[in-house]
Amino acid sequence: MKKSTFLKGILLLMLLTLTVALCACAGDKEDKSSSSITIGIPQDIEDSLDPHEMLAAGTKELFFNVYEGLYKADVDGNLVPAVAGDVVISEDGCTYTFTLREGVKFHDGTLVTAADVEYSIAKCADIEGGSPNIAAFSNIVSVTATDDTHVEIVLAEADNDLLAMLASIEAAILPKNNATPDSVAIGTGPYKYVSRSPLENIKMEAFEEYWNGAPEIKNVTFKICSNADTIAMELNGGSIDMFCRLTTAQMAEINMEQFEILEGTMNLVQGMYLNNDFGPFQDVRVRQALCHAVNREEVLAFVSDGKGTVIGSSMIPAFGKYYMEDLNELYPYDTQKAKELLSEAGYADGLTFSITVPSNYQQHVDTAQVIAEQLKEVNVTAEIKLVDWDTWLSETYSNRNYEATVIGVDAPQLTATAFLDRFVSTAGDNFVNYSNPAYDENFANAMSTVEDEARTEYFKNCERLLAEDAANVYIQDLPEFVALSKKYTGYQFYPVYVLDVSTIKIAE
Amino acid sequence: MKKKTGKFNLILGCILLGGIGLFALSGLLFMPYDPEGMDIANKLAAPSLAHPFGCDNFGRDIFSRVQSGLLTTLGIGISSVALGTVLGTLLGALMGYYAGLIDEGLMRIMDVLFAIPSILLALIFLSVFDSSMGNVILALGFSIVPSFAKMMRQEFRKQREMEYVKVAKLFGASDARILFVHILPNVMPTFINCILISFNNAVLAEAGMSYLGIGVQPPKASLGRMLSEAQGYLTSAPFYTIFPGIIMILMLFGFCLLSEKGSEKNA
């Protein structure tokens, strides 16, 4: 008798939990109308909403959907007109006259005028203050709205990369009447920014009056999934429909009946970035020794099942003419050589330093672990310090308070400058404190040279210097695996670090 | 009947903890592989004769990692409980024995600390300072203090009024002698129970913190750290989760049984 009441009790309890659980499921499903998508992202955006002030690549890639510049990068790495309809470049290459595209509207419904463009470019180039958000913008002498639909940009020296720079989110066009761009996001892109719940999600909705036609998916939720270990479960469980940059381990856990795996590259320069100001790393021999001591092929084998591309400097293969494959061979895996270099530098007894890694990026955490293990071979102790993303951004990146870190650096624009300008000794985002007058000179030369071949040569010199100085231990351009629910189709990879939602469609 | 289950619990608890203890000790003497040594050929290798618990995503032997992880976890547990016990007993004794203003003042502080969950307290501590192993021990140790002090205070207060304490006082024994030579042995059951429960909590908290990515830093193994790393391979390599998990459960179960036994005696 007693037993049966007990059993009944248990059954009742189970029923109760089940009902509650099922109710929750039903709620979830209702919420998902056919034209919405939930995309998992690895971190929250603790960043300004002002595109000219954004720091993190993770923020910029999302707001690619909200903001547009005069030009825009397309899937094949070409620059296509966006807010601008057309451009006329003067003979000497110093004056650019843009004709605005007709009928482009901001998210608040107002038309984009030449005055808005003048305001936006003047704001990011900071012509009066002299601290532009992209170093190359210091080249802009003036920007004037000549009439309602024409804007003229005058440069001090000709610059082939101007259009590419203007295509980046750092030069997005903002409405002049928005007094608080860092908290109110109004752009011209295919999606409107709706809201952000800290540590939970960021919501966007389709902009019906987008000049290139409203996107098919109407509601987009970017759900923050900062725990790298549960992403596969979230995908399989249906709480997210898509996740970019999966690790191979996460991929193995995904239910292939529900998801399609797309493969591209991340367009990131992943490396162990060294604080060149930190004691032992001031010595180039120590840095070179580390390069020799890291077996990059093995890192690839562990971290991405051998996929990915080994790189030797701050440039990725997708940037065709600037990429120098021979630099990959500069530091072959050679522990003997590494030991020699270390003892020459006075660290024969070993060396200890810490690697700071943002814990939400599994690839980087894994890479750091493999590197730490490999460095033991040459008597170097690398202690891993996991930090959360915000701490990494403020302490490591902004304050440069670290010894070494494993991270991937992206190119916000489709130019060589995007990867290389941060290593100029005075650059504000030179978080590795690299400083070499020869580098600065080559970079300045590249910036002032119009002729493409000579310019490319200067950029290549820069890359070579970075590699020879072993400014950082360059590892790989990570392979990118995107899991997309079979309910959707049309995701496209870009050669720049963006997440374009507007091309995604509902699968038939 | 009750007595029998009590005895059974005690024996089972001792056997479990003895086994775990032996396993941990074996790690001090001999580990089949370097717990941090990577081997690409054995990436996620299933359990075999060479690797009885299989290998993790870096080809590291899970058996050796469980051994070294257990040592880390036990080390952290023992040191933080030792710290918490010393401070907690001292405070509890002072509060319970002297009562009055010291008691009131300290007790209010304890109440405030009590209001904040101990794991949260440890989390705050670790985010302010670096998350090194020493700091984990400090954080956990301090988080044990309030509950420990509160329980000990209760006991000391009870004992204060006992005849033997009054007699000792008449004989001119110093306060310190009365507290720690006369009273402490008389509150042993509660004392031991407190230690066992704290230990259980400390081990769980360490696992929880490592699981959240703070606490023990990779590549060092701890049971919580291993579970956290393993969950990414839950379906493709279940053995990675199972073995550290089982060891953890057995250990906690053992402590549970012992402390249950202790509280029965007490009652």
The mean pLDDT value for A104-123 works out to 92
Rounded Cα gap, residues B227 and B206, in angstroms: 12
Identify whether A1 is part of a domain: no
Contact between B233 and A373 using a beta-carbon 8 Å cutoff: no
Cα atoms found within 13 Å of the Cα of residue A453, Cβ hemisphere only: 0
Identify whether A15 is part of a domain: no
Our CA-based measurement puts residue A305 at a distance from the nearest CA of chain B, in whole angstroms, of 10
From chain A, pick out residues whose CB is under 8 angstroms from the CB of B130.
Answer: 385
For B48-70, b/e burial (b = at least 16 CB within 10 A) is eeebebbbbbbbbbbbbbbbbbb
Interface test mutation site (partner A, options B126, B135, B234, max chain A beta carbons within 10 A): B234
Q: Are A90 and A124 in contact (CB under 8 A)?
A: no
Which pLDDT score, from 0 to 100, does residue A304 have? 80
pTM of the model: 0.75
Transcribe A462-494 into DSSP letters. Answer: HHHHHHHTT-EEEEEE-EEEEEEETTEE-----
Amino acid at B45: A
What pLDDT digit, counting tens, does each position of A60-80 carry? 989 999 999 999 988 877 788
Per DSSP bridges, beta strands A309-310 and A84-89 are: unpaired
The mean pLDDT value for B38-44 works out to 84
Contact between A386 and B43 using a beta-carbon 8 Å cutoff: no
From chain B, pick out residues whose CB is under 8 angstroms from the CB of A366.
Answer: 57-58
Domain residue limits at A143? 68-171
Alpha helices of chain B — where are they, by DSSP H? 2-29, 62-98, 100-115, 118-128, 133-160, 163-170, 175-177, 184-186, 188-211, 223-230, 238-266
Task: Check if B228 contacts A (Cβ < 8 Å).
Answer: yes
Identify whether A459 is part of a domain: yes
Identify whether A183 is part of a domain: no
Q: Are A152 and A251 found together in one domain?
A: no
Q: Are A198 and A254 found together in one domain?
A: yes
From chain B, pick out residues whose CB is under 8 angstroms from the CB of A376.
Answer: 36
State which residue of chain A sits closest to B59, comparing Cα positions: A302
Interface test mutation site (partner B, options A386, A389, A390, A395, max chain B beta carbons within 10 A): A386
What pLDDT digit, counting tens, does each position of A284-302 carry? 999 999 999 999 999 998 8
H or E element that contains A290? helix A284-293
Q: Are A208 and A91 found together in one domain?
A: no
H or E element that contains A373? helix A362-376
Per DSSP bridges, beta strands A380-387 and A351-358 are: parallel
Q: Are B58 and B67 in contact (CB under 8 A)?
A: no
State which residue of chain A sits closest to B36, comparing Cα positions: A373
Reply yes or no on whether the pLDDT at B132 is more than 80: no
The mean pLDDT value for A340-365 works out to 89
**B40, B131, B234 member nearest A253 (Cβ):** B234
Task: Check if B234 contacts A (Cβ < 8 Å).
Answer: yes
**Roughly how many angstroms between the first and final C-alpha of chain B, as a whole number?**
16
Q: Are A234 and A167 found together in one domain?
A: no
Give the residue carrying structure tokens 């605005």. Answer: A100
Q: Are A253 and A309 found together in one domain?
A: no
Helix (H, G, I), strand (E, B) or coil at A181: coil
Interface test mutation site (partner A, options B39, B135, B227, B233, max chain A beta carbons within 10 A): B233
Q: Are A204 and A321 found together in one domain?
A: no
Which pLDDT score, from 0 to 100, does residue A412 have? 73
Q: Are A144 and A152 in contact (CB under 8 A)?
A: yes
Rounded Cα gap, residues A387 and B13, in angstroms: 38
Token pair listed for A504: 């995604």
Transcribe A16-62 into DSSP letters. Answer: HHHHHHHHHHHHHHHH--TTEEEEEESS---S-S-TTT---HHHHHH
Contact between B219 and A365 using a beta-carbon 8 Å cutoff: no
Q: Are A240 and A281 found together in one domain?
A: no
Reply yes or no on whether the pLDDT at A267 is more than 80: yes
Rounded Cα gap, residues A382 and A375, in angstroms: 7
Helix (H, G, I), strand (E, B) or coil at A202: strand
Task: Check if B9 contacts A (Cβ < 8 Å).
Answer: no
Rounded Cα gap, residues B122 and B209, in angstroms: 9
User: Residue B189 — pLDDT band, cuts 50, 70, 90?
Assistant: confident
Rounded Cα gap, residues A134 and A168, in angstroms: 10
Q: Residue A62 CB: number of other CB atoms within 10 A?
A: 25
Token pair listed for A235: 């995908």
Q: What is the mean pLDDT of chain A?
A: 87
Give the residue carrying structure tokens 């547990």. Answer: B77
The residue extents of the domains of chain B are 2-266
Contact between B57 and A362 using a beta-carbon 8 Å cutoff: no
Which pLDDT score, from 0 to 100, does residue A216 have? 92
- The CATH architecture of the domain made up of B2-266 is Orthogonal Bundle (1.10)
Interface test mutation site (partner B, options A250, A369, A396, A403, max chain B beta carbons within 10 A): A369
Task: Check if B43 contacts A (Cβ < 8 Å).
Answer: yes
CATH of residue A242 = 3.40.190.10
Q: Are A467 and A335 found together in one domain?
A: yes
Give the residue carrying structure tokens 């005058």. Answer: A154
**A233, A253, A369 member nearest B218 (Cβ):** A369
Contact between B58 and A373 using a beta-carbon 8 Å cutoff: yes
